[in-house]
């Protein structure tokens, strides 16, 4: 596997402000130093059991889709209980031999709660109403944290932070998918 150049090129950010959560993701997918696709859709709206959730993913696309399907199943089993569904997914991801090999991270929100789910068994809540993942995640996170001091809306913060990340990270572009959800 070390000979494989690896997929890169995702920045996902989530900002919670004013009763709304905005999740934004860029569209670039790269293989090694080559851009394979510039308009990938890495932020999606899920509606299991009539309860809307927005999810953004970083990492392998097939792995992320597998995790999103599992999350939807968990949400259907526990309607309206996002935290429980996330914890159950993280437990499975950590203990199931098949799932352990998946290489992705998720940001999920129902408009009220906001979580980052990792393959290490983590279900993390951001402290400052903003979180980011992916190759440009730290750049977007730093920009958004600074912008939280302004009067900008959640969407404006997410868009500006993503623009800053795209200017710095070669694996991030400015083709955004933005989803909003209210709590």
Q: Which residue has the higher pLDDT, 86 or 62?
A: 86
Q: Name the percent of the chain lying above pLDDT 90.
A: 69
Tell me what the mean pLDDT of segment 99-113 comes to.
89
For the cut 80, the answer to whether the pLDDT of residue 3 exceeds it is no
CB 38 within 8 A of CB 28: yes
10 is known as an active-site residue: yes
What pLDDT is attached to residue 9? Answer: 66
pLDDT for 1 beyond 80: no
The pTM for the full model equals 0.92
**Does the structure show a pLDDT above 90 at 144?**
yes
Distance (Å, whole) CA 75 – CA 66: 14
pLDDT value, residue 33: 84
- Give the model's pLDDT for residue 183: 80
Residues 149-174 have pLDDT tens digits of 999 999 999 999 999 999 999 999 99
Q: What interhelical angle do 61-77 and 82-95 show, nearest 10?
A: 130
Instruction: Report the 10 Å Cβ neighbour count for 9.
Output: 25
E strand map for the chain:
7-8, 11-17, 20-25, 29-31, 34-37, 43-46, 53-59, 104-109, 114-117, 123-124, 130-134, 177-182
67-82: average pLDDT: 93
Q: Per the structure block, which two tokens stand in for 169?
A: 């990270």
Mean pLDDT of the chain: 90
What is the C-alpha separation between 96 and 101, in angstroms, rounded?
9
Residue 111 per-residue DSSP state = S
> Quick check: 35 pLDDT over 70?
yes
Task: Tell whether the model's pLDDT for residue 17 goes beyond 60.
Answer: yes
Q: Give the Cα separation of 107 and 98 in Å (integer).
A: 21
Gyration radius from the chain CA atoms: 15
Rounded to whole angstroms, how far apart are CA atoms 172 and 163?
9
For domain 7-177, which architecture applies?
4-Layer Sandwich (3.60)
- Contact (Cβ atoms closer than 8 angstroms) between residue 141 and residue 124: no
How many C-beta neighbours within 10 Å does residue 83 have?
Answer: 15
Per the residue annotation, which of 10, 11, 78, 172 is the catalytic one?
10
Residue with tokens 């299991």: 48
Q: What's residue 145's pLDDT?
A: 98
């Amino acid at each position: 596997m070390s000979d494989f150049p690896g997929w890169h090129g995702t920045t996902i950010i989530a900002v919670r402000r004013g009763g709304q959560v905005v999740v934004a993701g860029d569209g670039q997918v790269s293989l090694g130093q080559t851009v394979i696709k510039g308009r990938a859709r890495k932020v999606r709206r899920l509606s299991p059991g009539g309860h809307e959730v927005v999810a953004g993913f970083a990492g392998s696309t097939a792995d992320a889709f597998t995790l999103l399907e599992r999350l939807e199943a968990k949400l259907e089993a526990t309607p309206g209980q996002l935290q429980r569904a996330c914890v159950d997914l993280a437990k499975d991801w950590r203990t199931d031999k098949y799932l352990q090999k998946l290489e992705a991270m998720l940001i999920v929100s129902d408009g009220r709660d906001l979580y980052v789910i990792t393959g290490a068994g983590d279900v993390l809540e951001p402290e400052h109403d903003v979180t980011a993942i992916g190759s440009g995640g730290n750049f977007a996170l730093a920009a958004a944290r600074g912008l939280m001091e302004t009067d900008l809306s959640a969407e404006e913060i997410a868009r500006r932070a993503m623009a800053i990340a795209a200017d710095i990270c070669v694996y991030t572009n400015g083709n955004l998918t933005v989803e909003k959800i209210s709590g």
